[in-house]
Amino acid sequence: MKDVTETFNTVYDATFRELMRCCLLKVPIEDARDLLQNTYTQFYRTLVKKGSGAIRDPKAYLITTLKHEIASYYRSGAKRKTVSLELVPDEPDDVSVEELSLDHAAIADILERLKSEPELTQRMFILYYGYGMKLGDIAKETGTSAVVVKSRLARVRRKLRTSFGEENTL
């Protein structure tokens, strides 16, 4: 059982960010978390049932499982809706509670103002600033060009700067 847990943790750490990005492009963030949880739960059950060596390519298995989860999600009647923009950044251990509170407040303000933007722009913003994706990768995933991604991000940065005042820069 320890071998299964170690295998699961290793695969989870190596694949989570990529699967989350993929899922965010297809479903709203609050549903993406559930779909990913289902995907990893199914992966873990398979590891327990068949052993850690039963799945030759864990990443391919997870991507296929996630695609099935997304298809099932939309077959069940779920409709595309506006993204809930909840970002939880990685927080270093040496940061004070006061600094974290300020950071969370600033992020909350930015995300609240971002809600007035089109869903595609919101997704691009989250993928770029929240997950560190490159412009070209975002363009490929959203079916646009890198120029479109860059201009949308520049436009939203200008709007945010204006709404927060010129002293704040993104």
Q: Is residue 134 part of a domain?
A: yes
* Dihedrals phi, psi of 110, to nearest 5 degrees: -60, -45
Of 75, 91, 114, the last residue of a domain is 75
CA torsion, ordered 19, 160, 120, 66, to nearest 10 deg: 10
142 pLDDT band, cuts 50/70/90, is confident
Model pLDDT, residue 61: 93
Per residue in 4-28, pLDDT (tens digit) is 889 999 999 999 988 988 888 788 7
- Domain with 146 in it: what CATH number? 1.10.10.10
- Tell me the C-alpha distance between 135 and 144, whole Å: 10
Per residue in 67-122, pLDDT (tens digit) is 999 888 888 776 544 334 444 444 444 444 444 444 566 677 787 888 888 888 88
For residue 56, the Cα-to-chain-centroid distance in whole angstroms is 26
pTM of the model: 0.50
CA angle, residues 144, 146, 152, in degrees to nearest 5:
80
Averaged over 116-132, what is the pLDDT? Answer: 85
Closest to 146 (Cα-Cα) out of 134, 158, 164? 134
Residues 123 and 61 in one domain: no
